Structure 1
Amino acid sequence: MLVFRLWVHCLVLYIISGVACILLYLEFRHIARLRLLHLKRATPNPGQFTVLVRGIPKTKKESCSSAVDDFFTKYHASSYLFHQIVYKTGKVQKIMTGAKKACRKLKNFTDTTVDQSCKAITYRCCLCGASSNSFQLLPTDEVVPSKGKVDLDDSSLNIDNEECAAAFVFFKTRYGALVASDVLQTSNPTKWVTDLAPEPNDVYWSNIWLPYKQLWIRRIATLLGSVVFMLLFLAPVTFINGLSQLDQLQKRLPFLNGILKQPHHLVQLITGYLPSVILQIFLYTVAPIMMLFSTLEGPISHSERKRSACCKVLYFLIWNVFFVNVVSGTVLKQLDFFSSPKDIPVQLAKVIPGQASFFITYVLTSGWASLSSELMQLFGLIYNFIRKYVLRMKEDTEFVPSFPYHTEVPKVLLFGLLGFTCSVLAPLILPFLLVYFFLGYVVYRNQLLNVYRTRYDTGGLYWPIIHNTVIFSLVLTQIICLGVFGLKVSPVAAGFTIPLIIFTLLFNQYCRTRLLPLFSTFPAQHKLWNNSRPGAELYCHLLTGELL
C-alpha cells in the first residue's frame, strides 16, 4: 500500500512538472511575440536612435566632445548624426540653480495683486494643539530696500560644467544605433562602452556621470552588502520561527516555561498568527534597503535599478522566508541541517510538512492582507494625511506613482514557490494560494489600469526573472520529492524522479537558447523594418532634444 501511494505521488509530480513546462513555454513564446510586436509597432522615440557612450578616454589635447565626434565620424560615418556630452553639475551650480528658481517664484509673487489689509490667522496646530499665527504681510513702505542687487545671471558667477566621460550619440537610423551598441568599439573593453540609451523618462541621471571603471567595484560591494544583510536577517527570522515552536524553544531556553502555562488561545495566537505578522513587519525594511543597494550599483535607468532590486528582494525572500523557515526555529538545528549537504533533500522532506501551518498563515498575512492594503493604498493615504494636515503642505495633484515591481513581483513568485514545493507534501495550502492568485489578478489589473501610471516601458524584461524562478521552483520540488522517496525507501520511485530533473533542466536550456536572446537584444530584422517607415529619420531630428 505504501509503495502504491509513493507511485501516485510520483505520477502527480510528473503531471505537475509536465503541465508547468508546457504552460511556461507557451507563455514564454507569447510574451516573446508581444515583445517583437511592440518593437515592430512602437512609435519612434529618441531612445531608439540613441546610444549612451561611457568610458570616453580623456586627453589634455582635446575635449571629450571633440573625441566623440572624431571617433564616430571615423568608424560610424554612414549612420552617425551628432552627439551631446553629459556634464557633471557641481554643488555651487546646484545652489545657483535653486536660487534662480526661488527668484522666479518671488518675481511671480510680486507681480500678483495681494490684499495689503490681510490679518494674521490663528488656528490650532495638529501636533500639540497650541495656537499658531500665520505670517503677516508687511506693508510695502516698511520693506527695507537692499543696498545692492546680485544678478544671478552675471557671467562672473557662471561656472563651467565639468565634462563627464559619457555622451549621448544620435544616429540616423535605428539599425545604426543597434549596431553601434552591440559592437565592441576598441580592444580595451573598458573604453568607448556603448549601450542603447533608455527612454527619456527612464534615464537615471544621477548615475550617468559615474566612471565606467568604477562600476565593477560598486557591483562587488553591493553584492557583499546584500549577502551580509541576508545573513544578519537570520537572527530575527530564527527568533520568529522559534515562536511557532515554543515546545522546542522551551528545551533550549528554560526561562520560557511561563509562556506555555498561559491560556490555550493565547498560546495559539503566539505560535500561529504572531510569527508571520512580526516577519511581515521586518520584511517592510527589505525593499528600501535593496533599492539603495541597486542604486549604488550605478544603473543608467530607473527600470534597470528597479529590476536589480527585484532580483535582490526575490533572493532575499527565497532564502529567509523559505529556506530559513523550513528548518527548525533554533540556530542549533539550522547548523545541523546545513552540516550534511547530502541529506538536504531528506531533511527538506521531513520539515516542510511541519511548516505548512506557518506558510498558510504567511499567505494570509502577506498575501490576502497585502492585497487589501494595495487596493486601499493605505500608505498613500497616511502619507497624504500627514503631508496635508500635519505638515500643512500643499497637495501635489500631479504626482502619480508607478507600479512597485520590486516589491510585488518577488512576493508573487515566492507564493508560486510555496505552491510548487507544498503541492505534493502539504497540499492544504493550495486553496489559499488559489484564492490569492485569483484576487491578485483582479486587484493588480485594476491598479495597473486605473491607479498607477506607466512612466516607461520595460518591454517585458521581467519575464526572464519569472521564468528562472519557476524553473528553480520546479527543480526544488523534484529534489524534495526525491528526498521523500528516499525517506520512504523506494529506490525505483526515486530513480524515476532523476530523469524528470534532467528533463526540466534541458527544457530550461532550450528556452534560454531559443527565446531568451530576444529579451537581451533587439532583432535587426525588426529594426530594419522600422527604418523603412516614412518619417523615421525626421522623427529622430525632431525629438533629439527630448532626451537632453
Structure 2
Amino acid sequence: MIVSALLTSLGINFGLCILFFTLYSVLRKQPSNYEVYMPRLLADGLSQQRRFNLQMLLPTPGWVRRAWQPSEEEMLASAGLDAVVFMRIIILSLRIFCVAGIIGIFVLLPVNCTGNQLASIDFANLTSDSLDVFSISNVNNGSNKLWIHFSAVYIVTVFICCLLYYEYRYISSKRVTYFHSSKPQPHQFTILVRSIPVSVGISVSDSVERFFTQYHPSTYLSHVVVHRTGKIRNLILYLFIPSPRLLKVRGSTICLLTVISLDILIWIKLFPSMREAFAEVRREEIRKKVMLPASGHSKNESNTKKLYKRLIHFRTESPQSKFECGGCCGLFPHKGDLLEQYEKKFEDSEENLRLEQSDTSSAGEASFCIAYVVTSGWTSVATELFRMIPFICSLISKPCVRSSDDEVEVPSLPYHKDIPRLLLFGLFGITYFFLAPLIVPFLLIYFCLAYIIYRNQFINVYAPKYETAGKYWPIVHHLMIFSLVLMHAIALGIFTLKKLPLASTLIIPLPVLTLLFNAYCSKRFLPIFTAYSAETLIKKDREDHNDATMAEFFARLETAYFDPALLPIQYSTNYDSRTSPLLPSTEV
C-alpha cells in the first residue's frame, strides 16, 4: 500500500468519525431521541425533559467529560463487574501500545527508514512511496540494526506478561470481592435439571421429591416444575431449590459438580440465572425439532461445517451467559482464515519472488492491518456511539408506536461480539509492531476512542442482562498469550529471512517461557474463574446466616422460578386515550 492510499483512507474515515460525533452530540439532546441515546437513564427515570434552546442544536463535547468522570467503583455499582472487566481490556491495550508505540515510533521507525534494502525514500514525493520503506523490510539483510528489533520483541514480551499477571490477579480479587459484597441471587441457590428418569406408577414430582430428600436431605428445600404451554409441548425442565444450610457449598454447588446417577445421560444439570432458565426451555425445543432432523441432511464435510455454524447456538447445553463468554473465542476462526490467506499469498508469490523478498510480503500484510484498523476500527467505534441502526428504526417506528418510560427496552452490550473485535486489533498491534511500527498510533487512537465511547454507553445506554463477574477474562488472557506466541513465530521467520541466524536461535526460548508463564497463571488464577473456593463460599454462607433479610429471601426463593405462563396477568395502570377502557368501572 502506498502512502497516498493510506492518507485517502485516513481522511475519509476521519471525516466519518467527525460526522458521527457531531450528529451524536446534537441528536442526543433531543427528547425524541432519548430512547436511542439514553434508554437506561430513561428507564430508570433519571432523564430530564429540557426546554428548547439554541444550545440543543449546537454540537458540544460535554458528554466526553461526563463519560470520563465516573470512577471504577461507580462503574462497578451501576454497570456490574462484567462492564468493569470489559473496560480493563481497553485499559490493558492502551498500556501495551503506549510502551510499544514509544519503542516503535522513536526507535524502530528511524532504524527502518535508514535502511536501503528497498528503493531509497524520496521525501519530495513521499505520497508515492510504499509503506514498506517504513517497515523492517527496508533494513539490510544481516545488518546489526536488526538486533534492535530483536531487543524490542523481548522487551515488549516481558512488559505484556507483567501486565497480564497484574490484571489476572487484580480481576481475580475483584471477582471474589464482588461475590462477597453482592446480595444473594436465586441462581446461586438453584440448579436446573432436565432428562429426569420417571418410574412407572410414580409422578414426576414425587420422583424428584423422593430422590432429593434421600440423597440431599440437609440441603433440599423444594422444587418447581416448569411447564410448556400448548398442546404439543411436553414437560422437559425441572428446577430444584436447596435448603438454606451451607447453600452454596454441601447443596447447589455440590449437586452441580457431581454426577448424580451412574447413567450420565440422565439428570443433566445447568446453573443458569432466572431469565436464562426459561430461555433454555425454548432452546431445547429447537434442538429437538431442528438439530436432529437437520443433522441427517449433511452429506459432506463442507455442509456439516455450515450447518454447525448456523445452529451452534441451539446445540449448546449452556445458558446464554456461558455461550456468549465462549463466543469471545470467535477470534480464532477469523485469525485462522487470515493465516490461510497469508499462506496462499506466500505460495503464489514464490513463483515470482525470491525467498529473500518474502519479508516484504509480511510488511505488506502489516500495511493491510493499518488500513483495516483505520477503516473498520475507527468507523465501527464511531458507529457504536451514533447507534445508526437503532436511530433509523426509531425514526420509522415513531409514527406507529407510542411508548412510555416503563416500556423502554434497555439493550445490553453484546460482549461476544465486541470483545473479539478488541482482541483482534490487539493481535494486529502485538504481532506487527516490530514489523511496521506505523500501526501503533492508529491503534492508540482506536483504543482511546473506545475507552470514552464505551464508558458513555455503559452510563447512558447499556444495562446488564446477566452478570458473570468477569468470567470471560481467562479467554482474554489466553488470546493475548496466543498473540505473543504468534509474534515470536513471525519474528523467528523474519530473522531467518534477514540472514541473522543467531537472533532466530535466541528467539526460540521466548515462546517456551511465555507458555510456561501462561501455565503458571492458569494454575494460580484460573480456578477462581471456574468455581468459587470452599473457603469463599463458606465465608459467604456464614455472612448470609447472620443476615436478618435471608429469611425473607428464602421465602421468595420457592417462587422465584415459577413459570411465567402460570403467573397472573399484570395489567398496566397507565392509561391514555388509546388504552383507557371503553366503559367506566363500577363498584359492586
- TM-score norm. by structure 1 comes to 0.67
Contact 2:241/2:558 (<8 A) preserved: no
Instruction: Name 2:311's counterpart in structure 1.
Output: 293
Per the alignment, do residues 485 and 200 of structure 1 end up closer, same or farther by CA in structure 2, a change over 3 Å counting? same
Judge conservation of contact 2:192–2:277 (CA < 8 Å) in 1.
Answer: no
CA offset digits 1:447-498 (Å, max 9, x no partner): 1122111121121022111111101100000000010111122222111111
> Does the residue aligned with 1:367 lie in a helix, a strand or coil?
helix
Say if 1:74 and 1:43 are closer, same or farther in 2 by CA, change over 3 A. same
Q: Answer yes or no: is 1:530 the counterpart of 2:547.
A: no
Matches within 5 A, 1:15-54: 15-54=155-194
Unaligned 5+ segments in structure 1 are 94-160, 233-288, 337-342
Query: Could you tell me how far 1:30 is from its partner in structure 2?
Result: 0.7
Which residue pairs with 2:275 in the alignment? 201
**CA offsets per residue over residues 235-285 of structure 1, 9 Å max, x none?**
xxxxxxxxxxxxxxxxxxxxxxxxxxxxxxxxxxxxxxxxxxxxxxxxxxx
2:339 aligned to which of 323, 330, 344: 323
Distance 1:537 1:77, change over 3 A: farther
> Of the candidates 414, 426, 436, which is equivalent to residue 436 of structure 2?
426
Bigger mean CA deviation after superposition, 538-547 or 9-18:
538-547
- Structure 1 residues 479, 214: closer, same or farther in 2, change over 3 A? farther
Q: Are the equivalent residues in 2 in contact too, given 1:353–1:425 (CA < 8 A)?
A: yes
Residue 450 of structure 1 is matched in structure 2 by 460
Structure 1, 10-19 or 57-66: larger mean CA deviation: 57-66
**Residue of structure 1 equivalent to 2:510:** 500
Closer, same or farther in 2 for the Cα pair 1:40/1:349, shift >3 Å? farther
Q: Provide, for residues 108-165 of structure 1, a one-character-per-residue CA deviation record: whole Å limited to 9, x for no partner.
A: xxxxxxxxxxxxxxxxxxxxxxxxxxxxxxxxxxxxxxxxxxxxxxxxxxxxx73215
- The answer (yes or no) to whether the contact 1:82–1:169 under 8 Å persists in 2 is yes
* 1:281-360 correspondence runs (5 A): 293-312=311-330, 314-320=331-337, 322-327=338-343, 333=348, 349-360=359-370
CA shift, 1:373, in A, is 0.6
- Secondary structure of the residue aligned to 1:205 is helix
Name the amino acid aligned to 1:13: V
Q: Answer whether contact 1:327 1:351 (CA < 8 A) is retained.
A: no
- Which residue number in structure 2 is paired with residue 55 of structure 1? 195
* Whole-angstrom distance in 1 between the partners of 2:389 and 2:442: 25
Distance in 2, Cα, partners of 1:414 & 1:7: 28
Q: Deviations over 1:400-420 (max 9, x none)?
A: 111121221111100001001
Shift in Å, 1:297: 1.8
Aligned: 1:81 with 2:221: yes
Spell out, residue by residue over 1:381-431, the C-alpha distance to the aligned partner (whole angstroms, 9 max, x if none): 011122234xx2344742111112122111110000100111111111110
Contact 1:294 1:308 in 2 (8 A): no
- 1:491 matched to 2:501? The reply is yes
**CA positional deviation for 1:538:** 4.2
In 2, Cα distance between equivalents of 1:537 and 1:387: 46
Deviations 1:201-252 (A, max 9, x none): 343524477399979x88x979x99x959988xxxxxxxxxxxxxxxxxxxx
Q: Which residue of 2 aligns with 1:111?
A: none
User: SS at 2:191's partner residue?
Assistant: strand
Aligned partner (choices 242, 246, 253) of residue 170 of structure 1: 242
RMSD across aligned C-alpha pairs, in angstroms?
A: 3.4
User: So what's the TM-score if we normalise by structure 2?
Assistant: 0.63
**Equivalent residue for 1:72?**
212
Q: 2: distance between equivalents of 1:507 and 1:541?
A: 48
CA 1:205–1:304 in 2, change beyond 3 Å: closer, same or farther?
same
SS in structure 2 at match of 1:515: helix
Query: Do residues 405 (structure 1) and 415 (structure 2) align?
Result: yes
Q: Work out whether 1:373 is the aligned partner of 2:383.
A: yes
Question: For 2:343 and 2:144, how far apart are their aligned partners in 1?
Answer: 29
Q: Does 1:543 align with 2:553?
A: no
2:449 — aligned with what? 439
For the 8 Å contact 2:193–2:239, the answer to whether it is kept is yes
Alpha-carbon shift at residue 57 of structure 1 (Å): 1.4
Counterpart position of 2:373: 363
Aligned to 1:183: 258
Q: How far does the alpha carbon of each residue in 1:168-224 deviate from its partner, in whole angstroms, 9 at most, with x for none? A: 3333222221111111212222222333x3222343524477399979x88x979x9
CA contact under 8 A between 1:207 and 1:299: conserved in structure 2?
Answer: no
Q: Distance in 1 between matches of 2:418 and 2:286?
A: 31
Contact 1:402 1:455 in 2 (8 A): yes
Write the letter of the residue equivalent to 2:217.
A
Answer whether contact 1:47 1:547 (CA < 8 A) is retained: no
> Cα gap change, 1:425/1:410 in structure 2, threshold over 3 Å: closer, same or farther?
same
Cα separation, partners in 2 of 1:364 and 1:69, compared to 1, 3 Å: same
- The answer to whether the Cα contact below 8 Å between 2:283 and 2:314 also exists between their aligned partners in 1 is no
Give yes or no for contact 2:321–2:468 (8 Å, CA) kept in 1.
yes
Q: What count of residue pairs does the alignment treat as equivalent?
A: 406
Tell me what 1:123 maps to.
none
* Identical residues among aligned pairs (%): 34
Is 1:393 the counterpart of 2:533 in the alignment? no
Structure 2 equivalent of residue 469 of structure 1: 479
Q: How far apart, CA to CA, are the structure 1 residues paired with 2:523 and 2:282?
A: 32
Work out the CA distance in 1 between the residues paired with 2:238 and 2:349: 49
Q: Which deviates further from its counterpart, 71-80 or 59-68?
A: 59-68
Structure-2 residue corresponding to 1:253: none
Letter in 1 for 2:553: Y
Measure, in 1, the Cα distance between the counterparts of 2:503 and 2:278: 53
Q: What stretches of structure 2 of length at least 5 have no aligned partner?
A: 1-139, 563-588
Q: CA, structure 1 residues 308+525, in 2 after alignment: closer, same or farther (shift >3 Å)?
A: same
Structure 1 residue 359, shift from structure 2 partner: 1.4
Higher relative contact order (CA 8 A, sep 6+): 2
